[in-house]
Amino acid sequence: MKIPQHVAIILDGNGRWAAAQKKPRSYGHKAGAENVEVICRAADKIGIKYLTMYAFSTENWKRPEMEVKILMKLITEYMRYCEKNAVADHMRIRVIGDRTILPKDLLEAIESAEETTKEFTGLQFTIAINYGSRDEMIRGIRKMSADLKPEEMTEETLSKYLDTADLPDPDLCIRTSGEQRLSNFMLWQLGYAELYFTEVPWPAFTPEELMKAVEEYDRRDRRYGGV
């Protein structure tokens, strides 16, 4: 079976999953955070080398203030928890996105997790926080323009100025909970990725569901524009 080297997941459906159980949205977000560890370990077991999850977008700030506060608190708590578990699993943690407006405690948790795990060679786990692909490209182009002449700019050079400079492009992108769009997630990097959409909401996305996505990927014929 072909195993994708890099899998990207758009985590969707926490709120709808909670509503279906007559629970508040915060209950869904908490369950979703807990499921991250489950899927990280399943991905590592399958043989996936890189896993990237879309946790909080640049557009998510538009949500109700209380929900945003709850999400920031949950993500901060998760980063601390993730760091402890990463040591046992030898998992490296990276965070992509614009950090300039993140709360101080979350920023400290991110920096601690990245520093602690920077030499680990297990699953390479990336979390997108305050991430938007268009924002990423604008930030990258600004940096590149300061360093290079126009004639020196290529696809390869721009890739080196993106948040994902040290990561391979995803082979497979999964979106949970039925929506079929990328929502400003890794638009540059997903140019030739296989897309997989499932009705299953993120808190209910199990290792078995991950395997279904990998099996579907195995059935695809990736020609990259060739015949």
Q: Which residues contact 76 (CB under 8 A, 6 or more apart)?
A: 103, 105, 106, 109
Task: Report the alpha-carbon distance of residue 5 to residue 222 in Å, rounded.
Answer: 14
- Burial (CB < 10 A; 0-12, 13-18, 19+), residue 189, is buried
pLDDT in the model for residue 222: 74
* pLDDT surpassing 70 at residue 226: no
98 carries an active-site annotation: no
Task: Please name the residues in contact with 170: beta carbons below 8 A apart, sequence gap of 6 or more.
Answer: 4, 6, 7, 8, 50, 52, 186, 189, 190, 193
pTM for this model (two decimals): 0.94
Residue 22 phi, psi dihedral angles, 5° rounding: 60, 40
Q: Each residue of 59-107: pLDDT tens digit?
A: 999 999 999 999 999 999 999 999 998 999 999 999 999 999 999 999 9
Catalytic residue, candidates 12, 44, 163, 171: 12
Q: Report pLDDT for 225.
A: 65
- Catalogue all structural domains in the chain, each as residue range(s) with its CATH number: 14-37+51-80+88-219 (3.40.1180.10)
221 is catalytic: no
pLDDT (0 to 100) of residue 221: 85
Work out the average pLDDT over 200-221: 97
Q: Point out the catalytic residue in the list 14, 44, 60, 105.
A: 60
**Tens digits of per-residue pLDDT, 178-208?**
999 999 999 999 999 999 999 999 999 999 9
